[in-house]
Structure formats: structure tokens, C-alpha cells
Structure 1
């Protein structure tokens, strides 16, 4: 599959790896991919802009989620009575501001390879399916974006939230990304 990645898609995946390293993440997940796509210069950020979403806002949301270690679905946890914000507030109150962040980073070690999470691998696989569906020979940043939108993942939820706040939706972003394909 990776042989079909264009230079911009390879750059996006490499950027996600670099972000995971800088943030001392244990693995590369879809939030890392969202950051690098939103901060990129390809057609994915243009599709976001078409939907009224600022790419820098999407990147900031994803970076914030990575720094908070927010892999868990806060809404799902709230449904069973767990408030992530309250847990974080109490940890800060007891152990000092940023206690959970420090604890997570203290346990991280430098490594040469960061594995992809299952949802990131699924999003990459879905990007291939999107390229095939659109009749494109290569996988570029738009296909990565479309794969993230199809996968049930934290990165996709960040995109959905940004779209909602901008008064748009996933269908509009999918259409904009597909239009970027025809415009190229």
C-alpha cells in the first residue's frame, strides 16, 4: 500500500511520526495524522478551508488532545459517570498543575520506531479504498483525510467537532476533498 503513497502523503505520515516523537507519544494515532494534514500544504487543508474550517484550529485541537492524552472518548466515559475534566482537575489540585501530563511523559522513552495504533492503520487502509473509489492511482493527503473521516477514531472525531463548530459537516468535507481531486 505504501508504494502508492504520493510524496505529500509520505510527508504527512513522516510528519505524524515526528509529532509523536516530539510529544513523547507511545504510538502514532489518528490525532497525529490530523495535525500533520491540517498543517500541510496539500489539498487536505484547502478542503477544510472550503468548509469554513481553519486548518490551524484543527491542528490546535488535535495537538491539545495529544498533549492531554485524550484517546478515551469523554462522552462515553461520562455516560458511565466518569468526568475526565474532573479527574484532571483533581490530579492537578492534589499533585500540581499538569500532573497527569508529567506522569505520562516521564514514563515515555526515546525510541527509533513508533507503532501505528489500530485506528491509524485502519484510517490508512481506508485511504487506499478512497483512492480506488475515486479512480486515483496514488494516495495523497486528501485520501488520508477521507480515510480519517471513514474510520471511527479520535482524529475523525476532532474533525467532526471542528466541522460542527464551523457550521459544516462530514458530508461537506468529503465533497470538498473529492472536488479537490477533480480540480487537480
Structure 2
């Protein structure tokens, strides 16, 4: 199975993504959690590449917090316009959760998917479809590059290649060019060789 090919670092990135999901109180591990784990310099070899590109974990967490409070599709001008007419988004969210329970604004849970054993972890419905796809793409990247193992670099390439998850969206909204970040990551392979 593909997870047997993951390096220790790549396994730590996946475990780190699970820990980020738990820390943030999210239901599913998404590409944003993989991105946060990739930014952890203690476990990820690509953290310096991301840092040099201008992204850090504090920025990602702040972005996720902003999105969690109902402003994902609103920029600050939109939110200010709503406040000007007396609409407080935090109060609306609070009232909905008071009436319908915590998490009432969250999307419905996904049905349970197949379980993928991963070195002591089970990748099941705890992982979003995009996160699962990202890990599959990491394998494809390794195969394409003729690498025997899947490392953190391949996971980053998977996030970039998947391109539609929240992880990639955060990167592009921060002004990063995904193609340029891909080139930098691939360049890291040739420098390591």
C-alpha cells in the first residue's frame, strides 16, 4: 500500500495534520491541515521553502480563524458594509448556534469512506476527499519523479497539484504562484541529489 512508502517525515506531516485538525476543533483533516503540518519545521523538510515564499503557520491559522467566523466569502469591506447596516456576523453565528446547536453552520458529515491504514493512523472519514486526493497525488508525484519514497516534498506537490483545496486557496490568496512554488520544491530535489 502507498503509506508503506512514506518517509518518517511524511508520516509525521500526516500525524501533524491530524493534530492540527484536533487543535482547531475541525471535523475533518483537510488540505489546510496538511499545509499547517508542512509548515512545522520540526517535522517538515519543506517548511523553509514555504517560509521563503512568504507563508507561515500564523498566517494560515489566522486565515482559518477568519473563515471559521463566517467571513470566508466576505472580504473586510463586505463585513464592514454589513456592520454599517446593523448586521453583526458574530452575533448571527452565535444566535444560530444558540438555536440549533454548536456546529449548525458546518457542512453535513461525509459518509464513512474506505479506511486506509497509515502507520498507526486510519485515514477514513476523518480526512476530506481533497486531503485523500492530495495524498494520492503525492504518490503520483513520487512515481513521476522516479522516487522510491514519498516525502514531505511530495505531499506539498500533492497540495499544489490538487489545487482546489483550502490549502492551495490560502497559498494563492497570500499571493503565491503555485507553479513557482512547485518549481522551488522540485529544485530542492535536485539540490539534495
Scaled to the shorter chain, the TM-score interval is 0.7 to 0.9
CA distance in 2, matches of 1:32, 1:65: 15
- Pick the structure with greater CA Rg: 2
Which residues in structure 2 correspond to 1:83-162 (within 5 Å)? 90-94=88-92, 103-104=102-103, 115-151=126-162, 152-162=164-174
TM superposition shift of 1:125? 0.5
Q: Deviation at 1:132?
A: 1.2
Q: 1:116 to 1:103 in 2, by over 3 A?
A: same
TM-score, L = length of structure 2: 0.69
Distance 1:139 1:156 in 2: 20
Q: Greater share of helix residues, 1 or 2?
A: 1
Partner of 2:14: 13
Deviations 1:114-159 (A, max 9, x none): 6111000001111111111222111111111110011121111112
Aligned CA RMSD, in angstroms, stands at: 3.5
How far the C-alpha of 1:68 sits from its partner, in A, is 4.2
- Identify the structure with bigger relative contact order (alpha carbons < 8 Å, sequence gap 6+): 1
Q: Which segments of 5 or more consecutive residues in structure 1 lack a partner in the other structure?
A: none
Q: What TM-score, normalized to structure 1?
A: 0.72
